[in-house]
Amino acid sequence: MPCGTINDALPKKMGIDRGSQVLGRVHQILVEVNMSDKLYGELEIENNKLERFENRTPVRRYEVSFECPEFTCICPRSGFPDFATIRIRYVPDQFCVELKSLKLYINGFRNDKVFHEDVTNRIMDDLIELLDPHEIEVVGDFNVRGNIKTVVRAHHEKKASK
């Protein structure tokens, strides 16, 4: 049914205005088209790229910290899920990380088979490449598994310019 005839399809006495009808039909079409495809969140995570913006206060050093308490990845030995809180602390130089891109980036590890040490250092390496901060620390605080609690702490400081 063409969009122009949606108004005719529903009786006006139902109290549904034309805008609601059009949005409802658009939603229905999108659901039908994407029924077998991935969900929009999965697509956002897959297509994510870490983004940065200019530090608006470069005249002083200050600290930015994030806590990501719902981090998940897969153990490459067992295939079981690993859960962690990732803590990121950095002192920006010229750039800061954009938060939505960071959220999607962190969520992108959920199906990756990766060791605790590797994922903590990979997050730090990607942020160093993106931001080139004065200083950065990434802590992977992993939940207990097999009676062992793992905390991986990676730290980096920019070398002083000569």
Active site residues: 75, 82
Phi then psi dihedrals of residue 25, to 5 deg: -70, -40
> Strands of 64-74's sheet, edge to edge?
64-74, 81-91, 135-145, 148-157
Whether the Cβ atoms of residue 22 and residue 3 lie closer than 8 Å to each other: yes
Which residue(s) pair with 64 in the sheet?
90
Which residue(s) pair with 137 in the sheet?
89, 155
> What are the strands, taking DSSP E only, across the chain?
52-54, 64-74, 81-91, 95-97, 135-145, 148-157
> Tokens at residue 114, please?
């990766």
